Chain A
Amino acid sequence: ETGVTQSPTHLIKTRGQQVTLRCSSQSGHNTVSWYQQALGQGPQFIFQYYREEENGRGNFPPRFSGLQFPNYSSELNVNALELDDSALYLCASSPSTAYNSPLHFGNGTRLTVT
């Protein structure tokens, strides 16, 4: 069984640029969620994708957007990068959107904005 994989592992961008992060979900999982983890903090929910549509969003501005593809893989796009966007971005997959569906995380993409 293949777990959640994310790419790239590290990324350095300049303020104002745009970035795309990628995620392949665990086999058999049709739901993908994205979380942002700042240094020394717990992960914060960005949004969740199911059936190629966003079906829930946390307190993040519209410059954070995403996609889900027919094979359930997903992308997170961030436009107009700000210094505070520097964080570990985690992708998690689950077998359903139910509130009690266990989330399995990838190892994340470490984004540094200078």
Chain B
Amino acid sequence: QKEVEQDPGPLSVPEGAIVSLNCTYSNSAFQYFMWYRQYSRKGPELLMYTYSSGNKEDGRFTAQVDKSSKYISLFIRDSQPSDSATYLCAMSARAGTTGFQKLVFGTGTRLLVSP
């Protein structure tokens, strides 16, 4: 079983729709949760990060963490064709005696927003 599970999609929605992207995880040591957006032939771009359970909002994006269920979500309001990309969830825990950072990623969900 993978530490982080994410539906690869593709998820197709019309412009203006509310999009819900989700990940589940098995490692209760994960404390830091991130969402990255990756356009074709580009590197991942950090969208949002959060530490605690609850919601965090930034413009059209809302990140939600439920540590009791080991479930995180990213909501996109008023989706635009320019939002079409792959969305990767990532998480990390304190790792190693030297405290290095290791992100564990989901496989990514491909989102297609049609005009």
What is A's interface to B at a CB cutoff of 8 Å? 4, 31, 33, 35, 40-45, 48, 50, 55-56, 58, 90, 94, 97-108
B42 within 8 A of A: yes
Q: What are 14 A-B residue pairs whose CB atoms fall within 8 Å in the complex?
A: A33-B103, A40-B107, A42-B105, A42-B107, A43-B88, A45-B104, A55-B100, A97-B99, A99-B31, A99-B99, A101-B101, A103-B34, A105-B45, A106-B43
Shortest C-beta distance, B58 to chain A (Å), equals: 13
Shortest C-beta distance, A94 to chain B (Å), equals: 7
* Structural contact, B88 and A42, CB atoms closer than 8 A: yes
* Structural contact, A56 and B96, CB atoms closer than 8 A: yes
Q: Count A-B contacts at CB 8 Å.
A: 82
Shortest C-beta distance, B115 to chain A (Å), equals: 26
* Structural contact, B101 and A43, CB atoms closer than 8 A: no
* Structural contact, A103 and B46, CB atoms closer than 8 A: yes
* Structural contact, A97 and B98, CB atoms closer than 8 A: yes
Contact of A48 among B94, B100, B106, B107 (CB under 8 A): B100
What is B's interface to A at a CB cutoff of 8 Å? 4, 6, 8, 31-32, 34, 36, 41-46, 49, 51, 88, 90, 92-96, 98-108
Measured CA separation A51–B71 after assembly (Å) = 35
Residues of B within 8 A of A55 (CB): 96, 98, 100
Residues of A within 8 A of B31 (CB): 99-100
Residues of B within 8 A of A102 (CB): 34, 46, 49
* Structural contact, B102 and A45, CB atoms closer than 8 A: yes
Measured CA separation A98–B73 after assembly (Å) = 24
Residues of A within 8 A of B103 (CB): 33, 35, 43, 45, 103
Measured CA separation A105–B4 after assembly (Å) = 20
Residues of A within 8 A of B8 (CB): 40
* Structural contact, B43 and A90, CB atoms closer than 8 A: yes
Measured CA separation A69–B113 after assembly (Å) = 43
* Structural contact, A103 and B45, CB atoms closer than 8 A: no
Measured CA separation A104–B104 after assembly (Å) = 15
Shortest C-beta distance, A97 to chain B (Å), equals: 5
* Structural contact, A56 and B92, CB atoms closer than 8 A: no
* Structural contact, B105 and A99, CB atoms closer than 8 A: no
